[in-house]
Structure formats: structure tokens, C-alpha cells
């Protein structure tokens, strides 16, 4: 009987101690059996007081009419004014060509062995014929070039028959052979253009054909600088 009372006393003492320990854990704010660790919930993420979280201020959206510094919206839409064109130096007009006509029948020309004919369609109403083999030679004298160089010669001629061949020699140089088509009558004028080189001052242009008859000639027009 004494032993039973002692054992009961020990059991009651241990129960009181356990109650004191449980009460202390509850006062510490922990749930029973958690050891004071805050409940994380079913997701396993620790729950914190909202008042202790960092405050993040959202950036306001850019509304209509607003611009961000350094963005393309605040760049001017007006293109820069174009630079004025560079001033151009005034150009000096070149010397116009000198255009001169020389009549075939002029007394200043060489007309040996030729014949002057009336020609209603010709300049001065005259022409020079009978030029070629066994006949005469027509030479234009005093054809002037101011500086020399290339010149354009327009030969006005008359040929009432089939094409004829004539030659032209400048200042006694190598001849240039030309073919003169028919003009449709012996008072109808045709023209052929040839380029020659002239020397400064007066020049001579000789019309001839050592092999056959050449056409009749009205005049020449020389364009030279």
C-alpha cells in the first residue's frame, strides 16, 4: 500500500510538469508540435506581414500627348531647312562661230576654164559650170578663219542629171572626194556638208575632178571660229 501511493505521486508530478511545458509553448505563439515556426500553409511559402513587405510604386503609363525624354516622340517632325545651293561662277559665253558665204561666180575666185551660167534658183541668180576632166577648176580664194581649226563647209550645187563626183582641196592639201546626188533640174539647188581644217587667216578651197565632169556650183557657206 505504501508503494502504490509513492508511484501515484510520481505520475501526478510528471503530468503537472508536462502541463507547464505545454502552457509555455502556447505563450510563445507557436502552434503545438511546430516548435515556434510560423505556419507556411499548404503551398509551403512563408507568410509574412503585409506591412513589412517593400513598397513598389508602379510606373504610370504614357498617356496621349505625353512624351518620354529621349524617345522618338519628342523629336521634331520638321526636317532641317535645306542648305542654299552653292553659288555658281558665271560662265563666259564662247565666241560664236563666224558664218560667211562665198559666191562661186565672184571675181576674186579662180575661174580658169569654167563658165558662168544664169540660174534662177541660185544665190545671185548665177552658177559656175564646166568643171572637171578636160574643162576648168573652181577655186574659192580668201576664205578667212580667225584662229584656224575645224570648219564646217556647206556646198550649194546644181546637178540636173545622175550623181556626179567632185573633189575639194584645202590650201593645196590632199583632196576629199564627194558624191553629189541629182537635184532634179539645172536650176534646182542641193547642198552637201563637209568638215575641213583651216589655218588662221585666208585659205583656198579648190573644186575639181580630174576624171569626169563635176556638178555646177552656186556658193559655199563656211562656219568657223
pLDDT digits (tens, 9 = 90+) for 84-126: 777 666 655 677 888 999 999 999 999 999 999 999 999 999 9
Instruction: Output the pLDDT for position 53.
Output: 52
> In angstroms, rounded to a whole number, what is the distance separating the alpha carbons of residues 197 and 148?
7
What residues form DSSP beta bridges with 138?
Answer: 207
- Rounded to two decimals, what is the model's pTM? 0.60
Determine the Cα–Cα distance for residues 204 and 198; give it in Å rounded to an integer: 9
Question: Which CATH fold topology does 102-224 show?
Answer: Jelly Rolls (2.60.120)
Instruction: Give residue limits of the domains in the chain.
Output: 102-224
Instruction: Select the more confidently predicted residue: 53 or 85.
Output: 85
Q: For residues 183-197, give the mean pLDDT.
A: 97
pLDDT at 71: 46
Collapsing DSSP to helix, strand or coil, 177 comes out as strand
Residue of 65 and 142 predicted with greater confidence: 142
**87 vs 159 pLDDT, higher one:** 159
Amino acid at each position: 500500500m505504501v508503494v502504490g501511493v509513492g508511484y501515484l505521486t510520481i505520475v501526478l508530478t510528471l503530468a503537472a510538469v508536462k502541463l507547464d511545458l505545454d502552457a509555455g509553448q502556447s505563450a510563445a505563439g507557436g502552434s503545438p508540435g511546430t516548435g515556434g515556426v510560423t505556419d507556411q500553409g499548404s503551398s509551403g511559402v512563408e507568410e509574412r506581414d503585409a506591412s513589412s513587405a517593400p513598397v513598389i510604386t508602379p510606373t504610370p503609363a504614357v498617356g496621349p500627348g505625353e512624351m518620354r525624354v529621349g524617345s522618338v516622340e519628342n523629336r521634331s517632325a520638321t526636317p532641317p531647312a535645306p542648305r542654299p545651293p552653292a553659288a555658281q561662277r558665271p560662265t563666259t559665253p564662247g565666241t560664236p562661230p563666224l558664218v560667211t558665204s562665198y559666191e562661186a561666180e565672184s571675181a576674186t575666185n579662180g575661174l580658169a576654164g569654167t563658165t558662168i551660167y544664169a540660174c534662177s534658183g541660185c544665190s545671185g541668180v548665177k552658177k559656175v559650170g564646166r568643171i572637171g576632166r578636160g574643162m576648168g577648176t573652181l577655186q574659192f580664194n580668201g576664205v578667212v578663219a580667225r584662229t584656224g581649226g575645224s570648219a564646217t563647209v556647206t556646198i550649194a550645187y546644181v546637178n540636173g542629171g545622175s550623181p556626179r563626183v567632185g573633189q575639194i582641196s584645202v590650201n593645196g592639201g590632199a583632196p576629199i572626194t564627194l558624191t553629189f546626188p541629182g537635184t532634179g533640174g539645172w536650176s534646182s539647188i542641193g547642198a552637201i556638208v563637209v568638215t575641213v581644217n583651216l589655218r588662221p587667216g585666208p585659205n583656198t578651197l579648190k573644186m575639181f575632178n580630174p576624171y569626169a565632169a563635176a556638178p555646177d556650183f552656186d556658193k559655199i557657206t563656211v562656219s568657223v571660229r
